[in-house]
Amino acid sequence: MELLIDGFLKAFGLLFSMDREVFSITLLSLYVSGLATFISLVLGITFGTLLALTEFRGRNFLVSLINTGMGLPPVVVGLFITIFLWRNGPLGFMHLLYTPTAMIVAQAIIATPIVMGISLAAMQSLPQKLRFQILSLGATRFQMFWLLVREAKLSLLAAVMAGFGGVISEVGASIMVGGNIKGYTRVLTTATVLETSKGNFDIAIALSIILLFLVYLINLVLTLIQQRERPR
């Protein structure tokens, strides 16, 4: 119990003293996961919608792949990306291993199937004829896409929250492709793991609290947006 209280106190201490390292770790967490979520949002909603609205051979197979992707173990993603980005690996020339960019890529790969899968389901649950109604009003394909996305806003925001939640809390892939390098690729989750394994439980708890707070704040904002649009 005292450990938890210690942790809380330490958390506030770190925050208020604007400890530079904690600050940079937090900022990096936001940057990496935020960017990854944004990428997954764009790719996920676009392709999820496209898939929902089109018919073609092998579509069911593709959908099953996406649904599998939703449960893709992040650690597996991390492993494969690491192998690809190794100096002597196929993409070694890009020198991306142990950089924040690699972390963004890994997290985007983890989040995109989640966003895509939920978007697909959201768009498919819109009334079938709605698409035709919108087209009959003279909408271009682009306009139709936007109108349908707006209609499915509630579910799509849930998809974004799911994607973000999945990556801000991710640690396995982030350590593997990022290397947990101090001041460069260390984020809240990887720093927590480090401090825990060192036995610095109070710092670990402090970082966890900061992480939880961050996640809560962001989800609060998204929830407010989502619920504001709800039909009253």
Partner 1 sequence: MDLLVAEGIKVVRGGKVVVEVEKFVVRSGETVALIGPNGSGKTTLLMTLATLLKPMEGKISFKGELLHGFSQALHYRRQLACVFQEPLLLDTTVFHNIALGLKIRGMPGGEIKNRVENYADLFNITPLLHRRARKLSSGEAQRVSLARAFVLEPEILFLDEPFANLDAPSREVLIDDLACILKKKKVAALFATHDRSEAVRFADRMAVMTGGKILQIGSCEEVLNHPINEQVASFVGMDTTFWGKVVSVKDGSALIAVSQKLIEIIGYFEVGDIVFCGIRPEQVILSQSPLGKDTSIRNNLPATVVEVSPRGSFYKVTLDCGFPLTSYVTTRSLEELSVKVGMSLNASFKATAVHVMKHGRP
Partner 2 sequence: MRHWKCLFVVIAILLMGDLGESLGAAGQREVILATTTSTQDSGLLDLLIPLFEKKTGYFVKTIAVGSGQAIAMGRRGEADILLVHSPAAEEHFVKNGFGINRRLVMHNDFVIVGPPEDPAKIKGLKSVAEVFKRIAAEGKLFLSRGDNSGTHVKEKELWKAAGINPEKKRWYQETGLGMGETLNVAAEKKGYTLTDRGTYLALRKNLRLVLLSERDERLMNIYHVIEVNPAKWPKVNALGAKAFADFIVSQEIQEVIRHFGKEKYGEALFYPDAGKKVEELGK
Query: Which residues here bind partner 1, judged by CB under 8 A?
Result: 127, 129-130, 132-133, 135-141, 143, 147, 150-151, 229, 231-232
Query: How remote is the C-alpha of 219 from its chain's centroid?
Result: 12
Residue 225 within binding range of partner 2, rule CB under 8 A: no
Residue 104 within binding range of partner 2, rule CB under 8 A: yes
CB of 54 to partner 1, least distance (A): 13
Round to whole Å and give the CA distance between 26 and 179.
17
81 to each of 52, 76, 179, how far by Cα in Å?
29, 9, 13
Q: Is residue 3 within 8 Å of residue 201, measured between CB atoms?
A: yes
Pick from partner 2, partner 1, none: which does 99 bind, CB < 5 to 8 A by kind? Answer: partner 2
CB of 198 to partner 2, least distance (A): 4
Binding characters for partner 2, 177-196, by CB under 8 A (x = yes): --xxxx-x-----------x
Round to whole Å and give the CA distance between 196 and 144.
50
Q: Is residue 78 within 8 Å of residue 97, measured between CB atoms?
A: no
Pick from partner 1, partner 2, none: which does 47 bind, CB < 5 to 8 A by kind? Answer: none
Question: What is the DSSP code string of 178-224?
Answer: HTT-TTTT--HHHHHHHHHHHT-HHHHHHHHHHHHHHHHHHHHHHHH
User: How many other β-carbons are positioned within 10 Å of the β-carbon of residue 132?
Assistant: 11
Among the listed residues 65, 196, 199, 198, the one whose alpha carbon sits nearest the alpha carbon of residue 120? 65
Contact set for partner 2, span 7-36 (CB under 8 A): 31, 35
Q: Which stretch binds partner 2 (CB under 8 A): 73-81, 86-94, 113-121, 165-173?
A: 86-94
Residue 44 within binding range of partner 2, rule CB under 8 A: no
Round to whole Å and give the CA distance between 144 and 9.
52
34 or 165: CB nearest partner 2: 34
Binding characters for partner 2, 158-177, by CB under 8 A (x = yes): --------------------
CB of 194 to partner 2, least distance (A): 8
Q: Which stretch binds partner 2 (CB under 8 A): 44-52, 55-63, 87-95, 115-123?
A: 87-95
The residue ranges that bind partner 2 (CB under 8 A) are 31, 35, 38-39, 86-88, 92, 94-101, 104, 179-182, 184, 196-201
